[in-house]
């Protein structure tokens, strides 16, 4: 076998390896995309029919669950108007922002007006009263913010 035939044979071998490698990469890609689109396609459960509803993962069951008086998804207290608050307030910011801002009715209304004027909050219509009542009832101003001042303490000077 001369050099030219030997070189052609090596090129053919290299080409065959390249074609097989490309086919494997393509096959792995198709399997990967199929798995990403529908992971259940690779579950081998035998002959049992697939009674699973597409898109229902069971997570919706706990979406608005309330335990011990707390709405689990948001942390809001359970009460009249809870879902109105969740639907209107948590579209733009977290529930924690609402919870930490304890205000009276006048201040809640002022805050809503500020959000409408500067943050593009929509007109709440009749929901505004429901929202404000919920917030005033469940998140009023705290009567005590910081601890009381220490009294009846014998202070001593620090010496160096």
pLDDT at 156 (0 to 100): 83
What's the pLDDT at 101? 86
**Minimal CA–CA distance to 128: which of 81, 160, 91, 94?**
81
- For the segment 59-84, the average pLDDT, to the nearest whole number, is 83
pLDDT tops 70 at residue 52:
no
- When the pLDDT of each residue in the chain is averaged and rounded to a whole number, the result is 84
Residue 145's pLDDT band, with cuts at 50, 70 and 90, is low
pLDDT the model gives residue 116 = 92
Q: Contact, 132 vs 105, CB < 8 A?
A: yes
Of residues 9, 14, 99, the one with CA closest to residue 108: 99
Given this model, what pLDDT does residue 60 score? 55
Looking at residue 109, what is its pLDDT? 93
Best-predicted range by mean pLDDT (43-57, 63-77, 101-115): 101-115
Nearest to 97 by CA among 105, 85, 109: 85
**Is-contact 8 2, C-beta < 8 A?**
no
- pTM for this predicted structure: 0.53
The span from the CA of 46 to the CA of 30, in Å, is 23
Q: Tell whether the model's pLDDT for residue 48 goes beyond 70.
A: no
Q: In the numeric block, which tokens belong to residue 47? A: 């002959």
Q: Give residue 45's pLDDT.
A: 60
- Place 126 in a pLDDT band, splitting at 50, 70 and 90: very high
* Inter-axis angle of helices 127-138 and 82-89, nearest 10: 110
Q: CB of 160 within 8 A of CB of 110?
A: no
Q: How remote is the C-alpha of 151 from its chain's centroid? A: 47
| Per-residue pLDDT band at 135 (split at 50, 70, 90) | very high
């Amino acid at each position: 076998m001369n050099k030219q035939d030997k070189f052609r044979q090596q090129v053919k071998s290299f080409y065959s390896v390249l074609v097989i490698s490309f086919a494997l990469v393509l096959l792995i890609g198709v399997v990967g995309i199929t798995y990403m689109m529908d992971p259940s396609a690779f579950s081998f459960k035998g002959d049992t029919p697939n009674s699973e509803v597409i898109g229902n993962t069971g997570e919706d069951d706990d979406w608005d669950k309330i335990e011990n008086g707390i709405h689990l998804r948001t942390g809001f207290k359970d009460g009249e108007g809870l879902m109105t608050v969740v639907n209107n307030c948590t579209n733009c910011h977290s529930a924690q922002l609402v919870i930490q801002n304890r205000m009276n009715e006048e201040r809640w209304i002022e805050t809503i007006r500020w959000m409408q004027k500067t943050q593009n909050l929509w007109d709440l219509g009749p929901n505004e009263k429901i929202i404000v009542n919920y917030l005033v009832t469940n998140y009023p101003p705290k009567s005590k913010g910081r601890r009381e001042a220490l009294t009846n303490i014998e202070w001593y000077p620090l010496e160096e």
